[in-house]
Amino acid sequence: MEMNKVVVAGAGGFIGGHLVSALSKKKNHLIRAVDIKPLNEWYQVFPDTENLVLDLREKENCYQAVKGFNEVYNLAADMGGMGFIETHKAACMISVLINTHLLMAAKDMGVDRYFYSSSACVYNGEKQTDPDNPGLKESDAYPALAEDGYGWEKLFSERMCRHFREDYGLTTRVARFHNVYGPFGTYEGGREKAPAAICRKVIEAQLSGKHEIVIWGDGLQTRSFMYIDDCIKGIFDIMTSRIEEPINLGSSEMVSINALTDIVENIAGIKLQRKYDLDAPKGVRGRNSDNALIKEYLNWEPSISLREGMKQTYNWIYSRMTAKQA
């Protein structure tokens, strides 16, 4: 079989690392992993992969990254959880250079397929004011009122993918990720998302003996969370599909932040006193994924329950934190 030559941009990050791991298990795949971080800061590194440290905001680096390869997965972005994106809007917007230059390089270097990782942050904020969110349909991105900074960058980059497909014939695929979580991700430092942050806070309470937890907001805000293994399968299914429009990739198992905390406390076998920081970044009131379209196209839906996925995530973070403490 002909060798499939794949570039993963953002390979040193959480989702990118898992994607490289899955690709490395496939036959006839040559992988080039690219990230801006020094190699010793990548979450996962694989010796049989060509690993490049490049700033993909620079146009010439994008050409170097894709040269001689036929598929590109773009997961590279300056981003994090709500605590990061609400306070780093300009930094998030600058990521538009990554997708712009990668698309230009992909077009000029004859890339066959291009995947772009978008986000549920593209959705109109006025449709996310109720904690009982019925689920965001793909059409709910317009009229546009995206998350300021990060969401607007993602929405603009979706349009870039569309127009490179229409004008230049580059096959592009776009998935809107809904809160991906799991092991080998950020759990401290300010860029972590809610599942990892709550696991860390519960473990801190366990290890310190101080049985309390601070929750951002009132805990009633709702989200859906997708385990990383389901995300990776969805990426592959979308990349090889004929779906040209942006499509949701997420779980429709909506949960409040209070309920998510209940799950982690149950896994840990502990009950904590809760303190609510109403001034902390908390994002929209309610967000959930409507999976009707991806079920229709691909018969895809997550296979891993929130509790099962959180247990795996908790165990990994616990092992890291106790090893660091030792």
Report the alpha-carbon distance of residue 125 to residue 147 in Å, rounded: 7
Bridge partners, 309 (sequence order) = none
Mark whether 73 is an active-site residue: no
Q: Which residues contact 128 (CB under 8 A, 6 or more apart)?
A: 136, 284, 285, 286, 287
DSSP 127: G
Run of H or E residues at 17: helix 14-24
Helices (H), 67-173: 82-85, 89-94, 96-108, 150-168
The catalytically annotated residue of 73, 116, 150, 187 is 150
Give Rg (Cα) of the chain.
19
- Which string of DSSP letters, residue by residue, matches 220-256? --EEE-EEHHHHHHHHHHHHTS---S-EEES---EEE
Cα distance between residue 227 and residue 230, in whole Å? 6
3-state secondary structure of 250: coil
Angle, CA of 253, 149 and 105, to the nearest 5°: 95
What are the catalytic residues?
Answer: 150
